[in-house]
Structure 1
Amino acid sequence: MGSSFNISADREHVGPWTFTAEQVQESILRHWPQATVSGAFENFLEIVADVGAARSAELSYNLRHAVFSFEDRGSPVAPLTVIHQVLHDLAPTVPVVWWIDYDVDLQPLDLTGGLDAFIAGFPA
């Protein structure tokens, strides 16, 4: 069984994100009209988006805990691209952290430096 990565607001400094499931869905569909965003089944949005160059992003958003997550399967660029865009649209000034599911050692991610900096701040 593989691990998964999690991304949330830095709650130690700002608390959780306050955007809604509808806002997340609207942001994703505005940038990737062919994406699928499931309904809020058991407090999760399931997201699948083709972000270009044959890269498909599969991730979820936990509505109760305000956490994006995706499995550690290959390159993280596609799911990070989706997460960065949603956060750029809905919470551009909120500090962001990531962690792997088996080690809750929170690491910062740079949302302010653009997509390349956001991706570079994540383990390859």
Structure 2
Amino acid sequence: MGSSFNISADREHVGPWAFTGEQVRESVVRHWPDATVSDAFENFLEIVADVEAVESARPAELSYNLRHGVFSFEDRGSPVAPLTVVYRVLRDLAPTVPVVWWIDYDADLQPLDLTRGLDAFIAGFPA
């Protein structure tokens, strides 16, 4: 019911990601030229990307919080499309930075592994 998933750098072991919102935009558009990335509004970028070859019928819809360095997406069906976007952006911009995820109502941080490929990244997210 209305929960969202969040993904950020593992700040217990490293600082926040060093990339900018403009770099996020460039990465998304490089991978999905028809994607839309909003201008910053109240410190958020809104991202919509039609991720081909993904089992989801809907495009990936997610946001990036510029102030806190957190990707977020709603719990609506399969998380594969938004996770694909996050994975591609992070592989471009912060491939060696440890990553964690959590559900908005439970700040129990869980690791995600960028090093073993997209399938392993998605499999590490048991939502």
TM-score bracket relative to the smaller structure: over 0.9
Gaps of 5+ in 1: none
Give 2:119's match in structure 1, choosing from 107, 111, 116.
116
Question: How far 1:86 sits from its partner (Å)?
Answer: 0.1
Q: Give 1:102's aligned amino acid.
A: Y
Offset of residue 55 of structure 1: 4.3
2:38 aligned partner: 38
SS at the partner of 2:102?
strand
Equivalent of residue 88 in structure 1, options 44, 66, 91? 91
Instruction: Report how many residues are paired.
Output: 124
- The aligned residue for residue 106 of structure 2 is 103
Inter-partner Cα distance in structure 2 for 1:5 and 1:14: 21
Q: Deviations over 1:93-116 (max 9, x none)?
A: 000000000000000001111100
Q: CA deviation at 1:17?
A: 0.3
Match of residue 51 from structure 1: 51
- Of all paired residues, the percent bearing the same amino acid is 87
What are the superposed Cα offsets for residues 9-51 of structure 1, whole Å, 9 maximum, x if unpaired?
Answer: 0000001001001000000000000000000111000000000
1:64 and 1:18 map into 2 onto residues whose CA distance is 11
In the alignment, structure 1 residue 23 sits paired with structure 2 residue 23? yes
TM-score, with structure 2 as normaliser: 0.95
Aligned to 1:17, what secondary structure does the other structure show? coil
Deviation of residue 123 (structure 1)?
Answer: 1.3
Match of 1:75 in 2: 78
Rounded Cα–Cα distance in structure 2 between residues aligned with 1:113 and 1:104:
25
The amino acid that maps onto 2:17 is W
How far did residue 91 of structure 1 move? 0.1
1:25 maps to a residue whose letter is R
Matched letter for residue 30 of structure 1:
R
- 1:67-98 alpha-carbon deviations (Å, 9 max, x no partner): 00000000000000000000000000000000
Q: Which runs of 5+ in 2 are unaligned?
A: none
Aligned residue for 1:48, secondary structure, equals strand
